[in-house]
Chains A and B, each alone.
Chain A
Amino acid sequence: MKNGEVTFLVFRGEREKGIFKEYKIPYQEGMVVLDGILYIQSKLDGDMAVRWNCKAAKCGSCAAEINGKPSLMCKTKVKDLEQPIKVEPMRAYPHIKDLVSDTSWNMKTRRNMIQKIGFSPKKDANWRMKDQDIEKGREFRACIECGLCLDTCHVLREHKLFEKFIGPAYLTFAAYLETHPMDSANRLKWLKEEGGIMYCNITKCCTEACPEEIHITDNAIIPLKERVADEFFDPIRMIARKIFGGKS
């Protein structure tokens, strides 16, 4: 921080076309990247497009790539970063303007899941659940839908399989549904055929990107994948399941 100044290189432009524009702005103690962006917006370039809401890592609005790393802007401190600080939108998604990308796929995917394989309570549910019964589900419910895991996952980012793979965030959502003690649906077939769960090859990049520290791969994806594999690729267990029934 030379002379109390920080240098930002911010991607400015529309629909993928743009440049990194340099801004030198005053440093303030405790400054996070989002502060820098909002400073630029209010003092230098009023039309700088950026999403944010809570400024406290609770809403998942402010995801971007900071020095190449998918991060929440409101949680990333300026003093921990190498300068110039390069800020660009999440690249896995189509670009709209400046730091805003088109994440409408998220709502479409979630909505599709809800309509096809949504929460489906048991007919005789008595709604008595213990804390330990919902412990797993609670971890998945901490998801703030920031999209950082989706931005990171190579299946979406490099291979652009948005039409075939629901990605780590929505596998986490599926894991919540599957572990809800009052739920009665079986989603394994859907996860295999529509959700594309087998595209995931357990690289764990999503887990590293998650600001909520959800163990996406270990706790959500792997158990689901194992059950899918059991159900569809293991003939002996398949028969056993037919005889003994049960969800798991």
Chain B
Amino acid sequence: MSANDRYEIHQVDILVVGAGGAGLRAAIEAAKSGLKVGVVCKSLLGKAHTVMAEGGIAAALGNTDPEDNWKEHFRDTMYGGKFLNDWRFALKHAQLAPECVLELQEWGALFDRTEDGRILQRAFGGHSWRRLAHVGDRTGLEMIRTLQDKLLSFKNVDVFQEATIIHILKDGNSVSGAVGYWRETGRFLIFKTPAIILATGGMGKIYEVTSNSWEYTGSGYALALFAGAELRDMEFTQFHPTGMVWPPSVKGILVTEAVRGEGGRLYNSKKERFMQKYDPVRLELSTRDLVARSIYTEIKEGRGTEHGGVYLDVSHLPAEVVKKKLPGMYKQFLQFAGIDITKEPMEVAPTMHYTMGGVVVDPETQMTRVQGLFAAGEVASGLHGANRLGGNSLSDLLVFGKLAGKGAAEYVSSLKKEPKIDKGEVDFAIKDSLKYFEEKDGVSPYDIHDELKKTMQNLVGIFREEKDMKKALEKIYELKEKKIRVNGNVMFNPAWHLAIDLKFMLLCAECVTISALERKDSVGAHSRLDYPNESKEKYNQFIELKNGSIQLRKEPTLEVPDELKALLKVPPSRKWEERNGNKKNEKGE
């Protein structure tokens, strides 16, 4: 191939990287300004991770419980995040989420309804009121379709589906473009653009057991770091206590908390109901982090099941109750595991689910410290602190996606001169990505990926300890040094795609491990065996790249202003139940 047909050049005003909830919402807002918008995504449009979300979107609409309002939502989010959230994000999120949900409705979304025809809301862990707008158990599908259709109604939008961005180009401290490739042909794509919005989602694929899809390779975190932006609190990785472990095809897939809510019991291989040991009062319905830690301990101490999980059992409940209250789970286990959960126990283990940490952005514009580089959605940080509440991600995508689109449009409109792309940088990025075909005796990218996943799973998992994490870091450095070899050509070649992604995944793994080593206390999703107590000081950890190596800095968490502090006095509780005299919520979350 000659250099000219090796790549094609596109000029856009704003490039959105990612077409999940955050990317689509950002692109819609950007398109409203009339500027030319490009949207790039690794999979086909509509297949991003957002499509898998089930439970709902948290927004204090006050339909189901009129007492609910943004102040309540703000408080719940701050408590959920153990006050390590940047309050400015939590405030904006709580205030803007309701109008964002109503927008979806006006674009055609069909949410479940209340008796009087408004959007119905359901209860979820950590939320004081019934707050989640939902569509049965396929909220994400409804959300992504609605956003995707809205986006496609604009004529000034180009969608580049099945394309991957691998490098951000800069002119001084400003964004000037990006390099990517088409998955189908392997042909390179050069974008000339003064603004890029990263909406690339999370990085669950650095762990072995995860509810996340193959796309979750953390490229956004790495692209941001390489471009000169900062990351915050990468140690906060959320492990959901119950994911499927068997059969292999469904390892990591989520088993909803409602299973325990309905009376499901956890047993180890010795048939002991082990939660009696860890939390004799709340048993299986203890907090998520505690249940996850308990399950993990049982497995690590040799009382796990054959496939490395523990048993979650509802077979003592009447079969019709199980089928009525847990229809999705009944179907999921019957279909994928061949297990009738009314008769046999499920095998479950914690599963890596979400990344609270991420790219540092301005709460108003969503811009990073790099001019023209924006971020929104799971890849960004600030809102969730040390722990995310269920439902707060989908609302995060809408609120901050929208702000990012607006921020980028304003930035581009105010630009005086067009930033230039550096041809040498383009050539380097292309050459670097093709080197895997030239390695004579490198190893398979799949093998490196396997080793990375095992390392993170075993050494930087739910329970962390200095000696393990040091080992993990050594392993990560060793893997970084390994030469990778890819066979075949550039046409739709997953081995090649993985080889490129590994560079990003290894950097993310390094960030998580270093942050986790440096946080010498236990809080939220971060549990240290060697430092089991929560520190008195509230602080956040920031990471940047200096001369290619990771630098970490601690800073006290931003103080909540007095007028908002007043809202934080009373901790969250299940208030609608208290109001109803503890009548059980019949939707049974």
Which residues of A does B touch, CB under 8 Å? 14, 28-32, 34-35, 41-43, 46-61, 74-75, 77, 96-98, 100, 102-104, 106-107, 110-111, 114-115, 118-119, 121, 125, 127-131, 133-134, 137-138, 141-142, 144-145, 177, 180
Q: Is the CB of B446 within 8 A of A42?
A: yes
Shortest CB distance A96–B (Å): 6
Given contacts A30-B246, A41-B495, 6 further A-B contacts (CB under 8 A): A42-B444, A58-B52, A97-B491, A114-B153, A115-B153, A129-B110
B323 CB-CB contact with A under 8 Å:
no
Residues of chain B within 8 A (CB-CB) of A145 are 46
Q: Is the CB of A47 within 8 A of B110?
A: no
Residues of chain B within 8 A (CB-CB) of A53 are 43, 47-49, 51-52, 213-215
- When A47-B493, A129-B117 are in contact, do A137 and B110 touch as well, CB less than 8 Å? yes
Q: Is the CB of B110 within 8 A of A51?
A: no
Residues of chain B within 8 A (CB-CB) of A137 are 110
A147's closest neighbor in chain B, by CB? B44
Of residues 133 through 175 on chain B, the ones whose CB sits less than 8 Å from some CB of chain A are 135-136, 138, 141-142, 145, 149, 152-153, 155, 159, 161
Q: Is the CB of B253 within 8 A of A75?
A: no
Q: Is the CB of B249 within 8 A of A47?
A: no
Stretch at the interface among B27-35, B223-231, B330-338: B330-338
Q: Please, what's the 1-or-0 string for B489-532, where 1 marks a CB less than 8 Å from any CB in chain A?
A: 10111111000000000000000000000000000000000000
Q: Is the CB of B145 within 8 A of A30?
A: no
Q: Is the CB of B47 within 8 A of A56?
A: no
Q: Is the CB of A30 within 8 A of B250?
A: yes
Q: Is the CB of A28 within 8 A of B248?
A: yes
Rounded to whole angstroms, the CA-CA distance of A179 and B493 in the bound complex is 42
Residues of chain B within 8 A (CB-CB) of A29 are 246-247
Q: List 14 A-B contacts (CB under 8 A).
A: A46-B494, A47-B494, A53-B213, A53-B214, A56-B253, A56-B332, A60-B47, A110-B152, A121-B108, A130-B113, A130-B115, A138-B110, A141-B135, A142-B141
- Looking at chain B, what size class is its interface with the partner chain? 35 or more
Residues of chain A within 8 A (CB-CB) of B112 are 131
Which residue in A30, A74, A115 is a CB contact (below 8 Å) of B155?
A115
Residues of chain A within 8 A (CB-CB) of B496 are 47
Which residue in B135, B152, B335, B495 is a CB contact (below 8 Å) of A111?
B152
B202 CB-CB contact with A under 8 Å:
no
Which residue in B110, B145, B159 is a CB contact (below 8 Å) of A134?
B110
B432 CB-CB contact with A under 8 Å:
no
Q: Is the CB of A49 within 8 A of B493?
A: yes
Rounded to whole angstroms, the CA-CA distance of A47 and B489 in the bound complex is 8
Rounded to whole angstroms, the CA-CA distance of A120 and B118 in the bound complex is 20
Which residue in B47, B214, B491 is a CB contact (below 8 Å) of A14?
B491
Q: Please, what's the 1-or-0 string for B309-340, where 1 marks a CB less than 8 Å from any CB in chain A?
A: 00000000000000000000000100111100
Rounded to whole angstroms, the CA-CA distance of A177 and B141 in the bound complex is 16
Q: Is the CB of A47 within 8 A of B108?
A: no
Q: Is the interface of B mostly helix, strand, loop or mixed?
A: loop
Rounded to whole angstroms, the CA-CA distance of A199 and B116 in the bound complex is 41
B487 CB-CB contact with A under 8 Å:
yes
Which residue in A34, A41, A42, A131 is a CB contact (below 8 Å) of B249?
A34
Q: Please, what's the 1-or-0 string for B180-199, where 1 marks a CB less than 8 Å from any CB in chain A?
A: 00001000000000000000
B477 CB-CB contact with A under 8 Å:
no
Residues of chain A within 8 A (CB-CB) of B335 are 57, 75
Shortest CB distance B541–A (Å): 32
Q: Is the CB of A128 within 8 A of B248?
A: no
Q: Is the CB of A97 within 8 A of B486?
A: no
Most A CB contacts (10 A, CB to CB) among B102, B249, B445, B492 go to: B249
Rounded to whole angstroms, the CA-CA distance of A49 and B495 in the bound complex is 9
Shortest CB distance B106–A (Å): 6
Rounded to whole angstroms, the CA-CA distance of A203 and B444 in the bound complex is 48
Q: Is the CB of B117 within 8 A of A130?
A: yes
Which residue in A75, A102, A125, A141 is a CB contact (below 8 Å) of B145?
A141
In the A-B complex, the 3 residue pairs with the closest CB atoms: A30-B247, A46-B495, A47-B488
- When A34-B249, A42-B446 are in contact, do A100 and B492 touch as well, CB less than 8 Å? yes
Q: Is the CB of B149 within 8 A of A46?
A: no
Q: Is the CB of A55 within 8 A of B253?
A: yes
Residues of chain A within 8 A (CB-CB) of B214 are 52-53
Shortest CB distance B7–A (Å): 20
Residues of chain B within 8 A (CB-CB) of A142 are 138, 141
Rounded to whole angstroms, the CA-CA distance of A184 and B107 in the bound complex is 13
Residues of chain B within 8 A (CB-CB) of A54 are 51-52, 213
Residues of chain A within 8 A (CB-CB) of B108 are 119, 121, 177, 180
Residues of chain B within 8 A (CB-CB) of A107 are 44-45, 152, 159, 161
Residues of chain B within 8 A (CB-CB) of A98 are 492
Rounded to whole angstroms, the CA-CA distance of A203 and B94 in the bound complex is 50
Q: Is the CB of B336 within 8 A of A114?
A: no
Which residue in A46, A51, A56 is a CB contact (below 8 Å) of B43?
A51
- When A54-B52, A75-B335 are in contact, do A59 and B488 touch as well, CB less than 8 Å? no
